[in-house]
Structure 1
Amino acid sequence: MSLRALSIGLAIAFNPAGVSAQDHMGHSSPYAGLETRAIKSLSESDLKELRRGGGWGLALPAELNGVPGPAHLLDLSDEIPLSADQVAAIQRIFDAMRSEAIAAGARLIEAEDAIGTAFQSGDLDESRLRALIDEAEAARADLRFIHLSRHLSTPPLLSSEQIARYNMLRGYRPDPCANVPKGHDAEMWRHQNNCG
């Protein structure tokens, strides 16, 4: 009898279900360890982002479709470049967005905490669960609107060249100055694309 066969036989003999400890370990949840989170549905990085009024990826439909957001416009103001008046206007948009996002983020954190607390207490029925989820989703929708709507506020302040430059700097569009298409006169191409 091989050592493996003996091990399996002993595992079956001492475990009526026929499942070894190794099998249990192979089926552990990908969520194992998350039960220690303060708010089960939010990671520490999620909490940090929400508390600082960060975007939390909620504005991706705008960002990835070429509609600039105020935070990244301010980060790239020198490279775009933005005028002092543009920076001041975008800063006002950003400050209002951040203030509103911090408040909505706090509501979302509180709502997610309430869901976890209700499950922990065991004092929960479907009606109460629906109300708690609706509160959390309303806060999330408000937060998403806050971030996405500010992407609508920035394009009127920018030229089409500045928007194109923003998208190129963010890595969404190739740099026309660095990529002269085959068959084009390089000097003429760079002149037509305002390359320095």
Structure 2
Amino acid sequence: MRLFISLTAALFVTLLAGCAGHSHYAGLEGREIKALSAQEIDGLRQGRGMSLALAAELNGYPGPLHVLELGDRLALTGSQRSATQALYDRMKAAAVAAGSDVISAERELDRLFASRTIDEAKLDAALARVANAQARLRGAHLQAHLEQLRILTPEQVRIYNQLRGYRS
């Protein structure tokens, strides 16, 4: 038994030593833009929500895409459906534009580090550009949830939250 415990401990220490110094970031240095995965870039280009509106969604402010998906179960009127589709189209266009700006800003930040031309002033400017683009992106999604609430009745909002599995 002692031999088994000793061998197990030795194996464990050997495994830990083999992992020492390796970062969970290893392999990411080949990314086009280091701070963004291919899936994130695709989501930004497509104007996807990517959980950017959780503050609204999980506090009872429905999102237009999900309202359209649940339209029959919410008994949307024709005018509600049209208003929701127009809202979704506006939100999507704004999100695609802001997402493109996020990609561009992150690419520039990455370029500054890769070229070793960054300094404190350039860093501040690059971060401000990234933050502004991210705020516009998140704002596009959150604004749509605010507007969607005005399109639905309180009963439809209650049903929406129930259908989405949220507690009241």
TM-score using structure 1 length? 0.76
- Cα distance per residue 1:67-105 (max 9 Å; x no partner): 101111111111112112111000000001100110000
Separation in structure 2 between the aligned mates of residue 163 and residue 21 of structure 1, nearest angstrom:
53
| Aligned counterpart for 2:163 among listed residues 146, 169, 177 | 169
Separation in structure 2 between the aligned mates of residue 81 and residue 27 of structure 1, nearest angstrom:
58
Question: Is residue 2:51 matched to residue 1:57?
Answer: yes
Number of residue pairs matched? 160
2:3 counterpart residue number:
none
Question: Is residue 2:101 matched to residue 1:131?
Answer: no
Separation in structure 2 between the aligned mates of residue 21 and residue 68 of structure 1, nearest angstrom:
48
**Code of the aligned partner of 1:96:** R
* Structure 2 unmatched runs, 5+: 1-5
User: 1:152 offset after TM fit, Å?
Assistant: 0.8
1:36 counterpart residue number:
30
User: 1:24 offset after TM fit, Å?
Assistant: 4.7
Aligned CA distance change for structure 1 residues 21 and 155 (closer, same or farther; 3 Å)? closer
| Aligned counterpart for 2:97 among listed residues 98, 103, 107 | 103
Structure with more contact order per residue of length (Cα contacts < 8 Å, sep ≥ 6):
2
2:71 is paired with a residue whose SS is coil
* Structure whose alpha-carbon radius of gyration is higher: 1
Separation in structure 2 between the aligned mates of residue 104 and residue 172 of structure 1, nearest angstrom:
29
Separation in structure 2 between the aligned mates of residue 138 and residue 22 of structure 1, nearest angstrom:
42
User: 1:54 offset after TM fit, Å?
Assistant: 0.9
User: 1:21 offset after TM fit, Å?
Assistant: 9.1
Separation in structure 2 between the aligned mates of residue 124 and residue 170 of structure 1, nearest angstrom:
46
Aligned CA distance change for structure 1 residues 119 and 161 (closer, same or farther; 3 Å)? same
After the TM superposition, which segments of 4 or more aligned residues of structure 1 sit over 3 Å from their partners?
A: none
* Structure 1 unmatched runs, 5+: 9-19, 175-196
Q: How does 1:10-159 map to 2 (within 5 A)?
A: 23-159=17-153
Separation in structure 1 between the aligned mates of residue 63 and residue 16 of structure 2, nearest angstrom:
50
Identity of counterpart residues, as a percentage? 43
**Code of the aligned partner of 2:142:** L
- Cα distance per residue 1:40-74 (max 9 Å; x no partner): 11111111111011112111100000110111111
User: 1:157 offset after TM fit, Å?
Assistant: 1.3
What is the aligned-residue RMSD (CA, Å)? 2.2
**Code of the aligned partner of 2:165:** G
